[in-house]
Amino acid sequence: MAAVSDPVELGAPWGPVRSEPPPTRFHPVHGANIRVDPSGTRATRVESFAHGVCFSREPLAPGQVFLVEIEEKELGWCGHLRLGLTALDPASLTIVPEFSLPDLVSLGHTWVFAITRHHNRVPREGRPEAEAAAPSRPPALLMEPYLCIEQYRIPRDRLVGRSRPGLYSHLLDQLYELNVLPPTARRSRLGVLFCPRPDGTADMHIVINGEDMGPSARGLPATQPLYAVVDVFASTKSVRLVQLDFLFTVPSLQTLCRLVIQRSVVHRLAIDGLHLPKGLKDFCKYE
């Protein structure tokens, strides 16, 4: 049996040093009911409940998390956001399918799941199915600073959703951190990534508020470009991209300052009483 290697920093290369990938953006090709803002970081379904399929503008790098936060919900629809990966180049699609499931998946080379806390975790050959159903780690460990997924170690800080600052925000933030809220609650953060394996394939993982849901699919073609798929479906109306600014490098000075400030106060409302520039206060409270 091959020895399990120690986790490494997210994006630390196995071979030659790679450049840092560009910031994540939505692809200009998307569903008919989607409007993407000029920055390419917010996608909103403007009508109906379908035609909300979006893609990442660039293929993901191994271990790179395509992370979205649910900004708006719309009552009256049954169903929620769907997330996954595709080896299809969005620019090659003459028409974006109405639904990611089953329409886009039926085109092949696409792996998409409806977001729930109980994904179809795929067991490895020779291992019991119960292993696939087991949580990746006990809830007590969700407060660890890093999320370890196979060979990658991802800073957990920005993976976790945060409530809007208010009277009970410090209590709501704990619910996001413990991942006890519904996975598609407003301001939940959901991500998808792939982890290459030695045999040339890759596992797809979905992350909900800083918790790895386990491999949702195996055998993805790691040698082909893989784009993220986000289906802004039914009760999910709008999502925004969350940038992980230290994917392939050390944390930025801005991020380090925010972490120090947040750890120095009881809860985010106390940040307003600090003698700091308004822009920095807002960054510490909202990001």
pLDDT, tens only, 242-260:
998 544 445 566 667 776 7
The predicted structure's pLDDT at residue 257: 74
- Which has more pLDDT, 73 or 269? 73
Give the other-Cβ count within 10 Å of 68's Cβ. Answer: 27
Give the other-Cβ count within 10 Å of 198's Cβ. Answer: 8
How many Å separate Cα 68 from the centre of its chain? 5
Write the CA distances from 191 to 84, 108, 211, 242, integer angstroms.
9, 22, 10, 9
How many Å separate Cα 121 from the centre of its chain? 17
Instruction: Decide if 172 contacts 46 (C-beta within 8 A).
Output: no
Q: Token digits for 223? A: 């040698």
Residue 128 has pLDDT above 70, yes or no: no
Is the CA virtual torsion 256, 182, 82, 40 positive or negative?
negative
pLDDT tens track for 259-287? 677 667 766 667 777 878 877 777 766 56
Question: If pLDDT is split at 50, 70 and 90, which confidence band does 137 have?
Answer: very low
CA 46-60-221 angle, to 5 degrees, is 115
| Alpha carbons 143 and 140: distance in angstroms, whole number | 7
The identity of residue 228, as a single letter, is A
| Alpha carbons 287 and 242: distance in angstroms, whole number | 9
Instruction: Decide if 79 contacts 262 (C-beta within 8 A).
Output: no
pLDDT tens track for 15-60? 344 566 789 999 999 999 999 999 999 999 999 999 999 999 999 9
Residue 183 has pLDDT above 70, yes or no: yes
Residue 74: HSE in the Cβ half-sphere, 13 Å Cα cutoff: 20
